[in-house]
Structure 1
């Protein structure tokens, strides 16, 4: 039955939610490897979304095995992303600016920063922010120590693998070292928890972010990621 309320469910090896801002769009994130996904179950989920008024479904940033699986179901590449890695056995720089743990009262500021820093497609809504924080077994959100927050970073860890899930600085405060401090803080936290390396992805054209990451020891990986898109047939 079609509904105006956002849909959110986790089954068949995927986590799906509709956008609270753009109800005709939905986002799908695999929670198991492509070898354990079933085509018939994914097709059934797509049919449910279409019946609820969804016109386009976007995957999270996925690797090549998952890309092949979803492309066999009619998904197409929406945007390719660079994947970078940093070896945490190396020296980690100290943050040049103070940071602190983000509070629940900071959420509105964090969403405002995110909206200001990213193009429309990449902007978090409340559900997207929560999903990014919960994407790994262990995570934390940091902001600059000043009030109100002007930048934030979401860092996650799964075993020895670290992830820089999100980094954003409000455009009016970019270039002052805040992004570098948030990355340094994230690397230090992961290193103290014995993560061996950290991954981050960024858009091909985001030269500012790419320059920051590479200046802090990240190196480009040969195999990148991609966001795929599936559109309802008219």
Structure 2
């Protein structure tokens, strides 16, 4: 009986994530794993600007595609880049000024900046945590949770989690930060032709989410209209 209850709870949790949500109306976020060798990022920049996103979270920002930050600078002048290797960095760009000290995690996991929206502090967090298997990503997860636990104010977390939205990794991060997944969650990456939902956005009140094209990457982009404050 207990096992059946657990299975049913897991099923309904997964189903809920696949359902549409109402737009939040407080902030629009565009998240994208660029793919380190991407050369089609000018089209991506056009798409980002056309959506009217307020903040952009980027992963796999490399020496080969870092020009994307320069192309975004006119519309998103407030930027932060954490370099973890020549092929892998995490970045974010915002229309809102950075109001405090930006943060980089010790190992590849997180780039974060504080901004002020409607007189309240909001942390914008771009995340890229390695696959849990076959990689040993425990230190990366610990770094992510350590950084997130220390942040005060509302958190908006977006990017490539390399884990399913109903996984323990995502569940722990949501619990630590009092956030909810925007929905509906949809596949953003194909592993040997199997579609997987790996890229998504968490915010205090959730929100609506849609998938954007690949634009030269192996990951689809995600655009979310989120709710920052829960009544």
Task: Choose between structure 1 and 2 for higher RCO, CA contacts under 8 A separated by at least 6 residues.
Answer: 1
Same structural fold, with TM-score higher than 0.5 when normalized by the shorter chain: no
- TM-score calculated relative to the size of structure 1: 0.37
TM-score relative to the length of structure 2: 0.37
Decide which structure has greater helix share: 1
